[in-house]
Amino acid sequence: MSDVTRELDVETKYREDLVEGRQQAQTSYDRAILTLSAGAMGVSLTFLKDIAGGGRAVQVRCSLVASWISLTLAVLFVVLSFVLSRRSFDVAIKNLDSQRNLGNLGGRFARWTEISNALAGISFLVGLVALCIFAYANLPPN
């Protein structure tokens, strides 16, 4: 085996490892957003019922509603990214098979998937901040 062939084999293996690592990172990201968003909504309901509700008027309700909307959007954006990602793979396979558009195999669906993932993260962070504001405003007095 020549040095050039061995070098190509190493590069090919390294690229495969990078693709696999990227996929695992994306899967972990999606799972984290889904789990943390659902968990935060559950915590907010428990906080509302057991801590903030204890016979006192609940303060900053708009913050609670904003957190629920943002956390729900985070979940919806992750689910949308699943659909867009699948469509992106379909387009990439079609383009690769026909040897067309090789510079942008996934087409617009690949870009929309990236945007959806970014919006999921942003929505989660906004929901978390809104939930923290609500919790702080409704802590029982010492």
The string of pLDDT tens digits covering residues 20-58 is: 887 888 888 889 999 999 999 998 888 887 776 666 667
56 in a domain, yes or no?
yes
63 in a domain, yes or no?
yes
7 in a domain, yes or no?
yes
Residue 76 pLDDT class (50, 70, 90 cuts): very high
Q: Which residue has the higher pLDDT, 22 or 133?
A: 133
Judge contact between 71 and 124, C-beta under 8 A: yes
89 in a domain, yes or no?
yes
Nearest CA among 35, 24, 33 for reference residue 119? 33
Look at the chain and report how many structural domains it folds into: 1
The Cα–Cα gap between 99 and 105 comes to 9
22 in a domain, yes or no?
yes
For 36-71, the DSSP string reads HHHHHHHHHHHIIIIII-SSSPPP-HHHHHHHHHHH
Mean pLDDT over 102-126 rounds to 88
Q: Which residue has the higher pLDDT, 92 or 127?
A: 127
Give the residue carrying structure tokens 């695992």.
24
25 in a domain, yes or no?
yes
Domain limits for position 20: 3-137
What's the full length of the chain, in residues? 142
142 in a domain, yes or no?
no
What is the pTM (predicted TM-score) of this model? Answer: 0.78
Nearest CA among 117, 111, 125 for reference residue 29? 117
